[in-house]
Amino acid sequence: MTQTTNASLHQRRHNAVPRGVSNLLPIYAERARNAELWDAEGRRYIDFAGGIAVLNTGHLHPRVVAAVQAQLQQFSHACFQITPYANYIEICERLNRLAPGKTPKKTILLSTGAEAVENAVKIARAHTGRPGIVAFSGGFHGRTMMGLALTGKVAPYKAGFGPMPGEVYHLPFPVAYHGVSEAAALEALHTLFKADLEPQRVAAIVIEPVQGEGGFYVAPPSFLKALRQLCDEHGMLLIADEVQTGFARTGRLFAMEHSGVEPDLMTTAKSLAGGFPLAAVTGKAAIMDAPAPGGLGGTYAGSPVACAAALAVLDVIEEEGLCRRADAIGALMRERLQRLQNDKALAGAIGEVRGLGAMLAMELVEDRDARRPAAALTKALVADCAAHGLVILACGVRGNVIRFLVPLTASDALINEGLDLLEASLRRLTAAAAEQPRRHAD
């Protein structure tokens, strides 16, 4: 029998799977534990990607595995709309208690982040009786049609897939590093209300408290407060998309807690269930009850296996103090990244180090110039790190941001080992780039 290799799997993948679903790396996962992963050829990797923010509690946390195994002794599916079950209710009760703000809450469970966003929009429209939804450029809200319509980046997400659902409007996201002030973003909202639609047609404003795919840009707390005030003034809802920011990543259970702003609705998914597909919309009870019976749901929504995993995840976050741990990881990584940022040998490649807690990123540019994104270096860095045993993710509307989503259960030693690999790779690539013009000049 021929041995399974990454290359042979990649060939089969090209023949069997359409190109529309892309792969960051031609590396095929075979097994994984906590923050380490092994490929089909037995090679080990440190995982700074966490399956795109899904593994705040690491791969196969023993508590999650035990909870899932116990559930599998009972039943794997019943459909909550047919014969409901207790762990669905338990997760909803816990999310209602944990969600930001004091207003009584209700929760519906779904399977994916995009589905949570779709349902938040449905609930907002049902409650307000209004059609309009305001979102932000650079934002990402999923690949279903409404998720796409809300997403503020055309290529590769929206291109070729139109027409998009209507009544969606985009505003600039405040990013000081790229010259978009908070005042300018708010002014754009006022202009929208003057030029395009009256606020009385707007059901909701949807915002990621820290943009994820868009580049880990943190919404200033004062901006979130201003949006809250505008929503209250005009009867619009504020929807916080916490799909990527949620479950301790930013040093709080939810990123909105940093601002003290209570959203009307909040979408969550990803790290909620430690690798099992589960998503939620949690919101003010009176708003959540707007859709009529039968208007919400889904065959697999709130899978009992995923609910069991999620209950264990919430226990782990609490008992292992993962919010505090996110702050500690953030401080450790930020200190090392900032040292690299100030290292002259790296030729000003790191323009900015930013983030909240352990939701950290570095933006790669040329000569410290925010207007000159180093997308080629970013791509090369992802590939070179993988070749040396570290999985990192790129993001950003210009393709020049490296984001770090290491499991919050990783040890300092493993994180430092990963950062050593990152540093070596960055030094190799910037030295090679500096060599090139010299060789041309010879």
User: Where on the chain is the footprint of ligand PLP (CB under 6 A)?
Assistant: 52, 112-114, 117, 140-142, 208, 212-213, 241, 243-244, 269
| Secondary element (H or E) of residue 315 | helix 304-319
Min separation Cβ 207 and ligand PLP, Å = 10
* CB-nearer residue toward ligand PLP: 210 or 429: 210
* CB-nearer residue toward ligand PLP: 71 or 244: 244
Min separation Cβ 81 and ligand PLP, Å = 21
Q: Which class for 343: exposed (0-12), middle (13-18), buried (19 or more C-beta within 10 A)?
A: middle
| Signed CA dihedral, 331, 332, 337, 339: sign only | positive
Min separation Cβ 243 and ligand PLP, Å = 4
Query: What's the token pair of residue 262?
Result: 């209570």
Give the separation between CA 141 and CA 151, rounded to whole angstroms: 5
* CB-nearer residue toward ligand PLP: 149 or 426: 149
Give the separation between CA 330 and CA 307, rounded to whole angstroms: 29
Give the separation between CA 366 and CA 374, rounded to whole angstroms: 6
Min separation Cβ 209 and ligand PLP, Å = 9
* CB-nearer residue toward ligand PLP: 213 or 262: 213
Min separation Cβ 277 and ligand PLP, Å = 8
- Within 10 angstroms of residue 353's Cβ, the number of other Cβ atoms is 18
Q: Please tell me the chain's helix, strand, coil percentages from 3-state DSSP, rounded to the nearest 5.
A: 45, 20, 35
Min separation Cβ 368 and ligand PLP, Å = 28
Q: For residues 398 and 379, is the Cβ–Cβ distance under 8 A?
A: no
Q: What is the DSSP string of 63-131?
A: HHHHHHHHHHTT-S---TTTS--HHHHHHHHHHHHHSSSSS-EEEEEESSHHHHHHHHHHHHHHHH---
* CB-nearer residue toward ligand PLP: 168 or 374: 168
Q: Which residue is nearest to ligand PLP (CB)?
A: 113
Would you mind telling me the total number of residues written for the chain in this entry? 442
* CB-nearer residue toward ligand PLP: 38 or 157: 157
Q: Distance between the two ends of the chain, CA-based, in angstroms?
A: 52
* CB-nearer residue toward ligand PLP: 212 or 304: 212
Min separation Cβ 211 and ligand PLP, Å = 8
